[in-house]
A and B are shown apart, each in its own frame.
Chain A
Amino acid sequence: MPARQLVLDLPHRAAQARGDFLVAPCNEAAVAWIDRWPDWPAPGLALYGPAGSGKSHLAAVWQSRSGAVAVSAAALRGGRIEARYCVFEEGEALLRDRGAAEALFHLYNRIAARRGHLLVTGAEPPARWTLPLADLASRLRALPAVEIRPPDDAMLSGLLAKLFRDRQLAVPGEVILYLVQRIERSCAAVARTVEALDRASLAERRPITLPFARATLGFA
């Protein structure tokens, strides 16, 4: 599985509406920017944060709201794209791809001229992308860049609860609070934990309780 695709996205392909997005302090700035569209002060926006932090989900929310076209590096090289609203999610793919960078540069110019918007996402902010084209680099660096931070407690709780519920598992709130204090603080770890508990609970035919979670995950 490609590292950048979130596990937790897989069962929820369809549920990429804004209402399905968990808003927590770690991503509220990003959500606020998406929500205030089309009142963006620049020809675009850059969202950045670690894999699995929800960039693609937010990008999809914006895409459905704006009717934006999702653009890949391959599509950029393939020909002239005329859309006024575009999402480009392969920021880091540009680093060694002069052809795509040049095409994105021209696309950016057309979007800016028509007062459209370009949403770019990546693990790092554009200021840290080493782009092969200075003209593009400076344009992207001038965009508002908003970070989605690694998940905080509220986010992890919400995610645990959501993933348990998606698997039809009734898990008491206390178990979730217990897990939040102990698991690695990433969305990927949440997904792994839920998976492990689900499997164990199925195998042993026992409900997920505090003692069960403690024993299964080997927490003291």
Chain B
Amino acid sequence: MTLTGNGNGNGNNRDVSNERSFGGERPNALELAWVRVRAHLRSEYGDAAFKNWLRSLTLLRASGDKVVLAVTSKFWRDWIAAHYGDRLVALWKAENLGFNGVEIVVNAVEAKEPRPRGDALEMPQRETDEARPQPAPAAMNGEEPRLGDVQNLCTPLDPRLTFETFVIGKPNEFAHAAALRVAEADEIPFNPLFLYGGVGLGKTHLMHATAWRLRMRNPARRVMFLSSETFMHLFVKAVRYKDTHAFKEQFRSVDVLMIDDVQFFGEKSATQEELFHTFNALVDHRRQVIISADKPPVDLQGIEERLKSRLGSGVVAQLNPTNYELRLSILQAKAEQKGVAIPSKVTEFLAHKITSNIRELEGAMTRLFAHATLLNSREISIDMAQEVLQDLLRANDRHVTIDDIQKRVCEHYNIKMADLLSPRRARAVARPRQVAMYLAKQLTTRSLPEIGRKFGGRDHTTIMHGVRKIEELRGGDPSLNEDIEILTRSLTR
């Protein structure tokens, strides 16, 4: 938008063609003049108006005999031009720098050329195209890849997830050693390797690292790595296209088959059947199979017994919840990797506060880096961490009441509040009751007698027993464990 006699501002001119660039002398004069013009505007229109309307106006450059100013939206441009345009032109003329008019452009990043991602793509086998976002066609249930394209459906290996970047600590050292062993062995050491652990503890990282190492040691080896969901998807399609023969061939001709998150196979019996046969065929032909899940084979729900026992017939390795030391090492390693200096007070703070899992811990760190290095160029401090991560930190700090807990437990297990508080000892209500007692102990500051009163006037020893019972069971019962995690999260959100 041009504010002078020649009115050829065409509305969306983000760039100025007949631009005049200056060496060194004029920009300074220009900037000084802009300071004066702003001061005039502020004194003429008052602080409030200045802040509300003119704050967003910035000096861009000089272009011919015009000054080019920028705002962040079309609306501000129109508003400022309509209300302050004349004054702006007059003030600039009065600066005697030879300007005859003012042009206001919208400085929004409207159609910025997508830049390649900043991440270093140091590993091979990744096409550069893959790293560069392109407007993606809306492919919804439309053109799906044919079976022959199975390689495209394999999980692409993430160059950041290697053994080198995997931080080892007590909770994960066994799983790490087992994966490394498989990755580096010339003869199959055990089959299958079954990795399991809770959410975000590094299963997928170990899978990627293993696949990388296998490929690097022997590029000719056919490594197929896919999610259980993709496996199911391919199988369902093969059945639909009556092409199960090709499907079988595809999977049975690989040297290493890796399937992530098999807990999602639950209740899908035809796919399970197929996995079972594929699995047997591969093992019989001395091919390596690597599986990951959130539970050990025996606890997988909806999975047939014979498949469970097959899955558990090699090495079963657990990724345990993190401890403070491991969290701290992970944060330090990540900072080093990114080349960002982060005070040890901040890493300690994060390792102490974000205990849920590694993914969230790393996510928090990533947010801090992004905030510090790219948005504000600020130093990383505890204050900044508290501000940037407020949603995560506060999520753990919410005040929880026993009433909340009882209500939520009843909803979760679909039982009546009256039953929860009753003396009934049927397991269907006794277990949820104990879970509620346990949560009341963990999430509130109430004493055991107080909790007892809230549970239909029970004795505090009953509460203590319930709490202990759940503590014991938690270790060996992943589904109970998951219930408690879900409830805790929902209560402390």
**Distance (Å) between the CB of B173 and the closest chain A CB?**
22
Residue pair A165, B73 in contact (C-beta under 8 Å): no
Contact mask for chain A residues 158-197; partner B; CB cutoff 8 A; 1 contact, 0 none: 1001100100000001001100100000000000000000
Contacting residues, chain A, for B261 (C-beta < 8 A): 135
Closest to B364 in A: A142
Residue pair A165, B12 in contact (C-beta under 8 Å): no
**Once the chains are docked, how many angstroms separate the CA of A36 from the CA of B356?**
29
Interface size on B, residues (CB 8 A): 76
Which of B144, B357, B366, B375 is the one whose CB lies under 8 Å from A32?
B375
**Known contacts A19-B74, A153-B52; A41 and B366 CB within 8 A of each other:** yes
Residue pair B73, A109 in contact (C-beta under 8 Å): no
Contacting residues, chain B, for A18 (C-beta < 8 A): 73, 108-110
**Once the chains are docked, how many angstroms separate the CA of A141 from the CA of B106?**
34
Residue pair A42, B136 in contact (C-beta under 8 Å): no
Residue pair A142, B109 in contact (C-beta under 8 Å): no
Contacting residues, chain B, for A75 (C-beta < 8 A): 140
**Once the chains are docked, how many angstroms separate the CA of A130 from the CA of B486?**
8
Is A138 at the interface (CB under 8 A from chain B)?
Answer: yes
Residue pair A125, B391 in contact (C-beta under 8 Å): yes
Is B156 at the interface (CB under 8 A from chain A)?
Answer: yes
Is A55 at the interface (CB under 8 A from chain B)?
Answer: no
Is B233 at the interface (CB under 8 A from chain A)?
Answer: yes
Is A13 at the interface (CB under 8 A from chain B)?
Answer: no
Is A82 at the interface (CB under 8 A from chain B)?
Answer: yes
Residue from B108, B118, B294 whose CB has the most chain A CB atoms within 10 Å: B108
Is A212 at the interface (CB under 8 A from chain B)?
Answer: no
Closest to A68 in B: B136
Interface size on A, residues (CB 8 A): 72
Contacting residues, chain A, for B356 (C-beta < 8 A): 138, 141
Contacting residues, chain B, for A88 (C-beta < 8 A): none
**Known contacts A113-B155, A144-B367; A78 and B141 CB within 8 A of each other:** yes
Which of B108, B130, B229, B374 is the one whose CB lies under 8 Å from A19?
B108
**Once the chains are docked, how many angstroms separate the CA of A113 from the CA of B260?**
13
Interface residues of A in 108-162 (CB under 8 A from B): 109, 113-117, 124-130, 132, 134-135, 137-139, 141-145, 147, 153-154, 157-158, 161-162
**Distance (Å) between the CB of A165 and the closest chain B CB?**
7
Is A65 at the interface (CB under 8 A from chain B)?
Answer: yes
Is B120 at the interface (CB under 8 A from chain A)?
Answer: no
**Known contacts A79-B141, A106-B229, A162-B75; A113 and B158 CB within 8 A of each other:** yes
**Known contacts A39-B117, A144-B366, A165-B78; A83 and B227 CB within 8 A of each other:** no
Interface residues of B in 104-143 (CB under 8 A from A): 106, 108-112, 114-118, 130-142
Residue pair B155, A65 in contact (C-beta under 8 Å): no
Is B482 at the interface (CB under 8 A from chain A)?
Answer: yes
Closest to B130 in A: A115
**Distance (Å) between the CB of A65 and the closest chain B CB?**
7
Contacting residues, chain B, for A130 (C-beta < 8 A): 486, 489-490, 493
Which of A36, A37, A83, A109 is the one whose CB lies under 8 Å from B229?
A109
Contacting residues, chain B, for A126 (C-beta < 8 A): 391
Contacting residues, chain A, for B370 (C-beta < 8 A): 41, 144
Given contacts A138-B200, A139-B200, 15 further A-B contacts (CB under 8 A): A17-B108, A21-B73, A66-B133, A66-B135, A68-B136, A82-B140, A83-B140, A106-B264, A114-B156, A126-B391, A130-B490, A139-B359, A145-B367, A153-B51, A177-B49
Can you list 13 A-B pairs with a CB-CB distance of less than 8 A?
A: A18-B73, A20-B73, A22-B76, A38-B133, A39-B118, A65-B111, A113-B156, A127-B391, A128-B395, A134-B198, A135-B199, A145-B392, A153-B52
B residues contacting A by CB (< 8 A) are 12, 48-49, 51-53, 55-56, 72-76, 78-79, 83, 106, 108-112, 114-118, 130-142, 144, 155-156, 158, 198-200, 227, 229, 233, 261, 264, 294, 356-357, 359-360, 362-364, 366-367, 369-370, 374-375, 391-392, 394-395, 482, 485-486, 489-490, 493
Which 9 residue pairs spanning A and B have beta carbons closest together?
Answer: A142-B363, A67-B135, A125-B391, A130-B490, A23-B72, A127-B395, A128-B493, A157-B52, A18-B108
